């Protein structure tokens, strides 16, 4: 049983199919399918039920899943140990992010990190807060930007830097609220809303705000891509709560909400107390020193070693 075969098996699980898994692994689908078939032949059991439109794990596949994760994590740890000796001439770091991250220019910061450590491969994943949290706890991610749906993080995770983001209501140009520039949450009962996907930090913050103000929103559309949400608002289908930079970048009216002023907390999180992966430590040190003045950062200074 080879590490490569286990990686291909996990790719099918995470991507939901062989075609998407082959794209993620940058190989042709026939090669990935052969790799998984060879693994099944070696283990003496089918790992996937391929009879439906979507491949699903068999009982044998479900039994292999935690073991495959552990073996792959061990292989990564071995590579990280070698990378530490090599002084980060090579290595790999995985970081997750919410799709609506605005407090940090992540592409720019990763580009600067790449210039400093060109041999380190960076893997970036955007997902819901719950998915990112589980990936951190399972060791599949080293770091992640989260917007927690609560006052703290789960056991075993630490917040290395914290930001507070202002939420505003974006509307189509010419909307009556755009001229006013500000409104109260209780005055939005007759508005049609466009909502972001459930489980995201933005959706959680908006849901808490509506519940606090006893606002029953009339949701006409929910989406999974923030750009689509902005385009739908621009088209006049509804209004939406977003972090202010998203509305300003889109050029849409940003209506300030009074009483209460809505916001959300974003944290850069990882496994406590500090990553063991040297590449992740280097990226953490870079990111915790990268937030610009005025970004609302709290606790964003470089953490003490150890």
pLDDT at 293 exceeding the cut of 60: no
Q: Given pLDDT bands bounded at 50, 70 and 90, which one contains residue 86?
A: low
Q: What is the largest CA-CA distance in the chain?
A: 68
**What pTM does this model have?**
0.67
> Which parts of 23-138 are beta strand (E)?
48-49, 56-57, 91-97, 120-126
CA-nearest of 90, 133, 239 to 178 is 239
Mean pLDDT of 17-44: 93
Residue 118 CB neighbour total at 10 angstroms: 9
Q: How far is Cα 146 from Cα 257, in angstroms, rounded to an integer?
A: 23
pLDDT at 85 exceeding the cut of 60: no
């Amino acid at each position: 049983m080879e590490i490569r075969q286990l990686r291909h098996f996990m790719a099918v699980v995470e991507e939901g199919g062989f075609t998407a898994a082959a794209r993620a692994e940058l190989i042709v689908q026939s090669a990935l399918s052969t790799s998984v078939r060879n693994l099944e032949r070696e283990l003496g059991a089918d790992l996937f039920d391929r009879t439906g439109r979507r491949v699903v794990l068999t009982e044998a596949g479900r039994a292999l899943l935690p073991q495959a994760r552990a073996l792959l994590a061990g292989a990564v740890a071995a590579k990280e140990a070698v990378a530490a000796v090599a002084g980060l001439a090579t290595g790999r770091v995985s970081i997750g992010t919410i799709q609506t991250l605005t407090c940090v220019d992540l592409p720019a910061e990763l580009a600067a990190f790449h210039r400093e450590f060109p041999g380190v491969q960076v893997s970036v994943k955007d997902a819901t807060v719950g998915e990112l949290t589980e990936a951190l706890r399972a060791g599949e991610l080293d770091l992640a930007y989260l917007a927690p749906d609560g006052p703290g993080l789960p056991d075993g995770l630490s917040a290395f830097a914290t930001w507070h983001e202002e939420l505003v209501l974006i509307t189509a140009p010419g909307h009556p609220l755009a001229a006013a520039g500000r409104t109260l949450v209780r005055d939005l009962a007759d508005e049609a809303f466009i909502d972001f996907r459930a489980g995201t930090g933005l959706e959680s913050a908006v849901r808490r705000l509506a519940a606090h103000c006893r606002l029953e929103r009339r949701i006409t559309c929910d989406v999974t891509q923030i750009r689509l949400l902005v385009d739908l608002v621009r088209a006049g289908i509804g209004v939406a709560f977003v972090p202010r930079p998203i509305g300003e970048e889109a050029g849409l009216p940003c209506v300030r909400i009074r009483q209460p002023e809505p916001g959300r907390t974003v944290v850069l999180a990882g496994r406590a107390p500090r990553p063991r992966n040297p590449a992740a430590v280097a990226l953490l040190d870079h990111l915790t020193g990268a937030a610009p003045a005025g970004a609302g950062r709290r606790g964003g200074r470089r953490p003490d070693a150890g």
